[in-house]
Amino acid sequence: MSKRNIMLLAIAGAIALLLPLVVHDQYILHIAVVTFIYIGITVAWNLMAIGGTLSLGHAAFFGVGAYTVAILYVDYGVNPWIGIAAGMVMAGLVSLLLAIPLLRLRGPFFTLSSLAFVEILRLLAIWATELTNGSVGITTPPDQGFAFISFERREPYYFIILAFVILTVAFSVWLYNSRTGYHLRAMKIDEEAVRALGVRSSGLKVGTMIISAAITGAFGAFAALYFFVIEPETQFSMTLYSVQPALNGIIGGMGTVVGPIIGAIIMTPLGEWLRTSFAGVQGLNFMIYGLALILIVRLMPGGLVDGFQKVVRRFRKKGGAAKAPESEAVPAKKGGEQE
């Protein structure tokens, strides 16, 4: 990753830190919090995409993190901060159950199997009524304060989730530029060649999935505390927390560091704006959203980052071609020859 991109991320982080000082509208801050949640789970999803693994099972890790913090908090009085850490551990353990049988599958077979895994956990959450309260769900207590991650206004939520996002993005940058990141990117191109060089690709995939799941579980736990109500249809929603992060990553640029962030920043507010603006016409917001997705994928099949880089290179070539005739207008003279 170039120093310029790292600098841009640092500038974006600084702007995000200053935003609540300028914007006091609680609805806008709510959209920002939701966008940060999607940035986090999209970046976590992208950790696997760096190695060429396309997962649609991250709703499982999101839901496990949410239910872990809720059950520990409501039933056992465990502090939510400890519950978030426990949610990360549980999501990592669940991902290990998924990784062992499924990572031997490749391509669309793994992707479809990960979707089935989400549905299994959703049905288990409905069935295990004594633990999860079934379809009724769990409501977290209204205790206020930093210790309980519960506030009347959005600003504290904003800064907490922003800290989560900064840590997640920093880890993603580090991983991408590390030796492990190079191995993952090489696996995406030719896994057999990487194995021939002595890299244990299976162990690398499992480790990446566990880290990706743990991060997703942390954001799922935070979302449970932010929205107060935890129930199977939402927390294990394939549309919200499996398909949407994948769309964000693909639209922005799958396998890059900046792409998933840009995808989440663009697609999350767009979806919310369409939902509120066209609430009177059922389904119209989804149709416009789908058309926007098709248009972006059609014009920039490699994602927004790749498309932007192509545009920049094209303008640079045109600029170089325009300067070439000027440099050739006065040819060099030999031996001091004069006209």
Q: What is the pLDDT of residues 120-163, one digit of tens each?
A: 999 999 999 999 999 999 999 888 899 999 999 999 999 999 99
pTM of the model as a whole: 0.89
Torsion of CA 126, 76, 97, 137, to 10 degrees: 20
pLDDT tens, 51-93?
Answer: 888 889 999 999 999 999 999 999 999 999 999 999 999 999 9
CA distances (Å), origin 259, targets 75, 209, 242, 265: 40, 19, 17, 10
Percent of the chain beyond pLDDT 90?
57
Say how far apart CA 81 and CA 62 lie, in whole Å.
Answer: 16
Mean pLDDT score, 184-198 = 87
Give the whole-angstrom CA distance, residue 149 versus residue 151. Answer: 7
Q: What b/e sequence results for 197-225 when a residue is b if at least 16 CB atoms lie within 10 Å of its CB, and e otherwise?
A: eebebeebbbebbbbbbbbbbbbbbbbbb
